[in-house]
Amino acid sequence: MNRDVIIACDFSSAAETYAFLDKFQDEKPFVKIGMELFYAEGPAIVREIKRRGHRIFLDLKLHDIPNTVKKSMSVLSRLDVDMCNLHAAGTIEMMKAALEGLTRPDGTRPLLIAVTQLTSTSEERMRNDLLIDHNINDVVVHYAKNAKIAGLDGVVCSPLEAGIVKEACGTEFMTVTPGIRFADGEVGDQVRITTPARAREIGTDYIVVGRPITAAPDPVAAYRRCMSEFVG
C-alpha cells in the first residue's frame, strides 16, 4: 500500500479550514475532518472539501449499539468520503454492522478502520481508568484481530504498535497512526508518539499529523517536510 500523510484539520470553522487549505497551491493533501469541525459545519464541509479535490478521512469514531452504527454508516457512505472509523471496543458484531451499513448498493464503500486505543491513553490510564488489566500492546493486537475478523481494512493505532499489528494481522492490514511529532517539535497531550521517519521504518501505511503542520509558521513547508521524511 502507498504511504501517505493525512493532515488533521482540527479547526473550529469552515472559514479557518478553507483559509488553511488555500495555502496549498501545488498539492491536494489527504485531510482528516474530526468531530469539532464536522459538528460545527455539518456534511456541507465534507462536500466542499471533496469538491476541491481532497481525499477525506472522516474521523467520527462511531461507538454505539450495532443497529445505530449500521444506520449511521449508511448515511456517511453517501458523503463520498475516502475513509471513516469506529471504536473497536464496540465489539465484532458492531464492526460487522458498520461495514454492512457503509457498503453502497453497487458494492463500493470507503475504507473502514477501527480505533484500538487512543494515543492519549497510557497503559497506566488503561489499567486504572478502564480496568483493562493487560499489557497495552496485547490489547491493541487483540482489538486489531477483532477488526480483521469483522472484515475491516485496518486500525488506528499509535506508531509504537503499528509493527506488532502488522505481524499479527498481515502486511495488507492497514495501519493509520496519529501521535506524530517532528524530532524537534513539542509533544502536546499525546503520550505514545514518534517521528515521521521512525513511522516509515516501522512500516505504517498512513500517518495523521495535526499541530506540527497546522500550527507551523509555514504549513506547506511543514507538510513537505513530513512527506519527505515519511514517504521519501
Q: Is 166 a catalytic residue?
A: no
> For 208, how many CA atoms within 13 A lie in the half-sphere containing its CB?
24
Distance between CA atoms of residues 187 and 189, nearest Å: 7
Provide the grid cell at 202: 516501522
Query: Which one from 61, 71, 148, 166 is the annotated catalytic residue?
Result: 61
Identity at 116, one-letter amino acid code:
T
CB burial class (10 A; 0-12, 13-18, 19+) of residue 103?
Answer: middle
Q: Which is it for the CA torsion 168, 129, 8, 111, positive or negative?
A: positive
Distance between CA atoms of residues 168 and 116, nearest Å: 14
Which residues, 6+ apart, have CB-to-CB distance to 24 below 8 Å? 220, 223
Active site residues: 61
